[in-house]
Structure 1
Amino acid sequence: MELYGKILLIAMPIFLAAVLFEKWLGWYRGKDTYRNMDMISSLSSGITNVVKDVLGLSVSILTYDYMVKNLAIFQIQSTVLVVLIAFIALDFQGYWVHRIAHQINFFWNKHAIHHSSEDFNLACALRQSISSFINLFTFFLLPAAILGVPTDVITIVAPIHLFAQFWYHTQHIGKMGFLEKIIVTPSHHRVHHAINPEYLDKNHSQIFIIWDKLFGTFQEELPNVPPVYGITRPAETWNPIKINFQHLWLLIKDAWRTKSIKDKFRIWFMPTGWRPADVIDRYPVKKIDNVYEYQKYEPVSSSLLNAWAWVQFTCVTLLVFYFFGNLGSIGTPNIFIYGGFIFLTVYSYTELMDRNPLALAWETVKNILGLGFILYTGDWFGISNVFSWGKYWVMAYFITATFATAYFVLFEIRNDVKSTGKLAWKL
């Protein structure tokens, strides 16, 4: 846990710098692939994901360590060859887990967040799941276990394999010649993120494109079919926590509402998007029919609200950096309290980005809890031991965030109601 936190202290600034560089490059080239609120939503999703991972909020039904101890035919040492075998084995597993997530209703929920951005850029790569709490597919690493690849090698190579999937989420790199036949390139992955009928559910490979070609899911990017990004049932929110559970909530409601006992059970394992026949007409769900005509989600926001969203993101990022750098001293159970506070922070300010007036309630609750914690314990998780004025800066943030959110809700959002007669938000 602490080691992973230290790794993220190095990785997070690198990823953020890459995102900001791509943003600048797009502006410089006259091809900006970012929208402000979408960008903050993506970065905030990345924060929730890494916090969840650091807290270890998932379990494996079948662990790799168990498989390698009980099923290994060979015992091999940690060499360059073993690392390569581990990398290929993880890539094989990644292909099948990825493909299953696209093809089965229940498993789509954990992956929908990654496709939910209607833009395609490095920031959208950071939209990763917080809704998966049980790892079911470790058995796909069986080839590595049989070959006796040590557990510690898999543990080291796994984050490298994950981080290596970041770079190809970009529109600024065209086709890459002979590399298109070997590795997953930006062109391949643009196809994967597209909702055009020609591209849907193709190119599931993560590093080596060979898996798609072997198993019949490869599709080249076509010059006359520009990719359109997103999901066919658009998320229509900037709140990454809501997006993580939207599909699951729909499945729960459909399973409850259908009169068919059979459908109540099979809905979870049917192809992604399947719904019982008796609920489709009674409870319609918005779905994109023509990918070239729909309007991207983007509620009108003032320049001030756009700037305030960046202030909120910056503050939560600083809190996360302190968190990851001091996991040992914060200790258990306080790390879970801190992690919950980060989730509540992201939830509240992304609700404001959606122009939801309930954002004021969420923000107020968050800030009262934060101030109460400081007054009760005398500090903010030991921050005064690192920064002498740390707790006062945190308190100032809580107070400022409350009044700023109140201003946006009571003036900007209330003006929406006056001018349009309805609220510009959805539950």
Structure 2
Amino acid sequence: MIFIKNTAQTKEILNETEFINKFKSRTINPMEAYGQILLIAMPAFFVLVLFEKFWGIWKGNDTVPLNDMIASLSSGITNVTKDVLGLSIAVISYSWLFEKFSFFQIEATWLVYVIAFFALDFAGYWTHRIAHEYNIFWNNHIVHHSSEEFNLACALRQSISSIVKIFAIFLIPAAILGVPPQVIGIVAPLHLFAQFWYHTRHIGRMGFLEKIIVTPSHHRVHHAINPEYLDKNYGQIFIFWDRWFGTYQEEKDEIPAVYGVTRPVQTWNPIKINFMHLWLLIKDAWRAEKWSDKLKIWFMPLGWRPADVAKKYPVSKIEDVYHFDKYNPSLTKGMLIWSFGQLIALLLLLSYLFGNLADIGAPGIFYYGGFVFLTVYAYTELMDRNPNAWAWEVLKAVYAMYFVLTSGDWFGLNKFLPGSVYIFVGYLVVSALLSIWFSFKKEKLQLAN
């Protein structure tokens, strides 16, 4: 028999079968576990991003413009929402590779965790390199390079378009060595989060560490569009992969890094950025006269376009990286403050979703995810000075009000915090009205000019 002490300090006796059933019912699935991790990670990243901004202001070198920061954090929101909801397909899972290829059965010792970390970094190097070298894979990565700044916030510009994942293929060496899947599952998020810190211009060269790990200096080179720096330093944690495979480039004082992509995205909207390269490939494949070009374009080196299409349909490209205008549509202080307020409101609502995934359940979590994406789309369109931004905000409000009116709540939020549903409805109304006001005010300003 097993004795369990409850909160009222009384003893409840359960037989072993009942206990096991209770334990199983409380087991957290991977989706919930990742949501719980993000409840800690999101505020930590947000605080670090704000710290970098205030540090830059104090030092007289602010590298985090507010509009760029909002766009970057919004991209991170869409990415983690997609991941937590499991909206991706792995071509091959690591568990399957482990079952088919492992020659050994080893225990999860500290050494195994070290091997797993190196295996993940090796796989990360090649996945990253392929994303930069082939047309079809660049769409999954363009959003990370889309910022024309370089700061901690842009580290959070992660993809929502990587629906099909091939990452596990590069983990075959780990599977052969018998690294258990549960070890990979633990090490993978740690490996991912460890790539955050080096997205900054406030840390110079780091001595002997430059020969071992990826440093801010290395990664500034990677994000630069200078001809001398393009397609270099793919490493994620260790830089020796680049040294061994011929893709290493040192940062040079006489060549100041210029950031972004050579075909500027010209938008703050991360959802648009995630699919713009794919849309260009689709249009080019459709317009190409040769059938061979229609197929070849997907697997050619990044930037390749059929000659006939490139001539007839040219695309804007930066020719002189030292002389071009960064994307910066004019925003009033009120619009910028309101956009930041939208970001804060969404982070709070997202925290509620991640903390209550099991209670909300399916399909509710997917409806909630739709609201998250609509919100990001609406306020980043306003930041782009899109005259139709108000329509997206109204659509968001109508979408959310449907669930409030049909259920009397917003996915259990009012039970969690009594009275909060009224605050939420008030936010929807104010958000729609302000967006309409900003949109039409903008049109008057344009007419006046």
The question of a shared fold, defined as TM-score above 0.5 by the shorter chain, is answered with: yes
Deviations 1:126-148 (A, max 9, x none): 00000011112311101100000
The one-letter amino acid of 1:96's match is W
- TM-score, normalised with respect to structure 2: 0.93
Equivalent residue for 2:296?
A: 266
Residues 1:299 and 2:332 are matched in the alignment: no
Shift, 1:205, TM fit: 0.3
CA contact (8 A) 1:355 1:413 kept: no
Out of 409, 419, 422, the position equivalent to 2:448 is 419
**Is residue 354 from structure 1 mapped to residue 408 from structure 2 by the alignment?**
no
Amino acid aligned to 1:353:
M
Letter aligned with residue 135 of structure 1: K
Runs of at least 5 residues in structure 1 that lack an aligned partner in the other structure: 421-427
**Using the alignment, how far apart are the partners of 1:98 and 1:158 within structure 2?**
15
Q: Which residue of 2 aligns with 1:14?
A: 44
Which residue of 374, 379, 382 maps to 1:344? 374
Which of residues 383, 388, 397 is equivalent to 2:413? 383
Q: What code does the residue aligned with 1:419 have?
A: A
Matches within 5 A, 1:69-108: 69-108=99-138
> How many angstroms does 1:60 deviate by?
1.1
Letter in 1 for 2:131: A
TM-score normalised per structure 1: 0.97
Is the contact made by 1:115 and 1:231 (CA closer than 8 Å) also made in structure 2? yes
- Name the CA distance, whole Å, in 1 between partners of 2:361 and 2:444: 43
CA drift at 1:358: 1.2
Q: Deviations over 1:325-363 (max 9, x none)?
A: 110100001000000110011001100000001111111
Q: CA deviation at 1:69?
A: 1.1
Q: 2:53 aligns with which of 23, 35, 39?
A: 23
After superposition, residues 218-237 of structure 1 pair within 5 angstroms as: 218-237=248-267
User: SS state of the match for residue 388, structure 1?
Assistant: coil
> Alpha carbons of 1:419 and 1:280: their partners in 2 closer, same or farther (altered >3 Å)?
farther
User: What is the distance in 1 between the residues matched to 2:334 and 2:161?
Assistant: 32
Q: For residue 281 of structure 1, give the secondary structure of its aligned residue in structure 2.
A: helix
Quote the Cα distance in structure 1 between the aligned partners of 2:66 and 2:327. 12
Residue-by-residue CA offset, 1:92-150 (whole Å, 9 max, x unaligned)? 00000000000000100000000000000000000000001111231110110000000
Is residue 138–residue 302 contact of structure 2 (8 Å, CA) maintained in 1?
yes
Q: Which runs of 4+ in 1 moved over 4 A?
A: none
- Give the superposition deviation at 1:160: 0.2
Contact 2:214 2:237 in 1 (8 A): yes
Deviation at 1:413, TM superposition (A): 3.1
Structure 2 residue ranges without an equivalent (≥5):
1-30
Residues matched between the structures, number: 419
Q: Percent identity?
A: 60
Q: Is the 1:191–1:202 contact (alpha carbons within 8 Å) kept by the matching residues of 2?
A: yes
Cα distance, 1:419 vs. partner?
3.3
1:266-285 to 2 correspondence within 5 Å? 266-285=296-315
Within the candidate set 267, 279, 285, 1:255 is matched to 285
Separation in 1 of the partners of 2:444 and 2:403?
32
Matches of 1:195 and 1:369, distance apart in 2? 41
3-state DSSP of counterpart to 1:317: helix
Question: How far apart, CA to CA, are the structure 2 residues paired with 1:322 and 1:277?
Answer: 51
- The question of whether the paired residues in 1 share the 8 Å contact of 2:124 and 2:167 is answered with no
Whichever residue aligns with residue 193 of structure 2, its letter is F
Instruction: Provide the rounded CA distance (Å) in 2 between the counterparts of 1:220 and 1:347.
Output: 38
Rounded to whole Å, the distance in 2 between the matches of 1:413 and 1:184 is 47
Once residues 77 and 372 of structure 1 are traced to their aligned partners in structure 2, the CA distance between those partners, rounded to angstroms, is: 52
Q: Who is 1:425 aligned against? A: none
TM-superposed deviation, 1:389: 1.1
Q: Distance in 1 between matches of 2:154 and 2:416?
A: 33
